[in-house]
Amino acid sequence: MRCLKLILLIILLSGCRTFEIGFVQTPTATVALPLRATTTPTVTATSASAATPTALVPPTSTATLAPPATAKPIVIRPTQPIEPMPTATALPTAAPDPPTIISFSIEPREVNPGETVTLRWSVANADSIDIYQYTPDTLPAYDTLGLPVSGALTQTILERERLWHVYELAAPHGSRVVTQTISVAIRCPYTYFFNPLPVEDRTEWSCPESAPSASTAAEQVFENGRMIWLQHDDRIYVFFNDGKYQTFEDTWVAGQAETVPGLTPPSGRYAPVRGFGKVWSGAEAVRSRLGWALAAEQGFEAQLQGGWVHCCSRLGTVNRPIYLRNIEGRILRLWAGEMPPGQWQFVVP
């Protein structure tokens, strides 16, 4: 019986794999890691009398991991702007027809002060008609508003008006206005006492303010100018050869000294007397600028006339030319201006 068990054992052993007894190292599979790893093998000892192989503990791996690579920034591509959906556009409404001036006339085209003129007009597509008026003297005009789109208007040119009168027709319709102007010439009722008028005055000052005035006068010529006294306004005009002039009130009266005491003129020269002497001796600036008189004063009949003033002629302004005929028959043009001294010159034909 024992022999039978031994045989069976031998048969079994011959069909099985033989195990080695002792230290056995189990191969470790190599894994490709992206990081370097340090492997430390662990050895397990077994007793020599052990009948079965001892299980081996696989080596322990200690891995040092590198920090993860820096992540690339996320770039968000800009999107194309979304165009708004087109909105429905209202069709433009037809614009109203603009006002149109069909005709605008005046009769007659030339009048005398005090006469009448007649305006006629016809306008289409207008709400009403306004007529504005302009005159050279710039004083308030006489506007006529709210007239019908067709009609006529008769108006009187005032006696004081000169040169021209302008009418402007305005035709409004909604926010639009069309205009047209027309003028009438006004004949001047006066003429100048001399001819021709200086070239620079023929446009602006072609009409005198009134008829010429005559005045008793006296004149004396000096080394650097002249003096003229006018009974017209009882003033003494001092004209310097540099084109400036001044005026002084004549304050000399009979009974006062006629000559200037203490002043003796050189040979061939004269000292002024009476009113001229009083102004000349009392104003050192006048005396030094004029010098001595070249001859004694002489009386004569002067003529003077002023131009019709465009602006404010009824307010007494002095901004206009005054023409004066002197003892020699020459014409002096005076322009007083707003502040003294004034300007003067001989008129050149």
108-141 pLDDT, tens digit per residue, is 999 999 999 999 999 999 988 999 999 887 666 6
Domain C-terminal end among 135, 162, 186 = 186
Question: Are both 127 and 234 inside the same structural domain?
Answer: no
Contact 341, 245 (CB under 8 A): yes
* pLDDT confidence of residue 97: 80
DSSP 8-state symbol, 32: -
Residue 303 lies in a domain: yes
* pLDDT confidence of residue 247: 95
Residue 27 lies in a domain: no
* pLDDT confidence of residue 45: 40
**Residue 264 domain boundaries:** 199-346
Question: Are both 136 and 261 inside the same structural domain?
Answer: no
Rounded distance, CA 251 to CA 234, Å? Answer: 9
Q: Vertex 59, ends 55 and 65: CA angle to 5°?
A: 150
- The CA-atom distances, in angstroms, between 96 and each of 57, 126, 176, 246, 337 are 106, 11, 10, 64, 53
* pLDDT confidence of residue 69: 52
- The CA-atom distances, in angstroms, between 128 and each of 95, 262, 337 are 19, 80, 44
Please identify every stretch of the chain with a pLDDT value under 50, giving residue numbers as ranges: 16-66, 75, 313-316
* pLDDT confidence of residue 77: 53
- Kindly give the pairing relationship between strand 244-249 and strand 342-346: antiparallel
* pLDDT confidence of residue 337: 80
Residue 72 lies in a domain: no
Is residue 108 reached through a cis peptide bond, with omega within 30 degrees of 0 on the bond before it? yes
Question: Are both 174 and 231 inside the same structural domain?
Answer: no
The predicted-structure confidence for 149-194, as pLDDT tens digits, reads as follows: 999 999 999 888 889 999 999 999 888 899 999 999 999 999 999 9
Question: Are both 229 and 309 inside the same structural domain?
Answer: yes
Question: Are both 143 and 180 inside the same structural domain?
Answer: yes
* pLDDT confidence of residue 82: 58
Domain C-terminal end among 144, 161, 186 = 186
Task: Using DSSP, state whether 301 is helix, strand or coil.
Answer: strand
Question: Are both 205 and 322 inside the same structural domain?
Answer: yes
Domain count along the chain: 2
* pLDDT confidence of residue 144: 87
* pLDDT confidence of residue 213: 96
* pLDDT confidence of residue 35: 43
Residue 224 lies in a domain: yes
Question: Are both 213 and 262 inside the same structural domain?
Answer: yes
Domain C-terminal end among 186, 216, 237 = 186
Residue 2 lies in a domain: no
pTM above 0.75, yes or no: no
* pLDDT confidence of residue 230: 97
Residue 21 lies in a domain: no
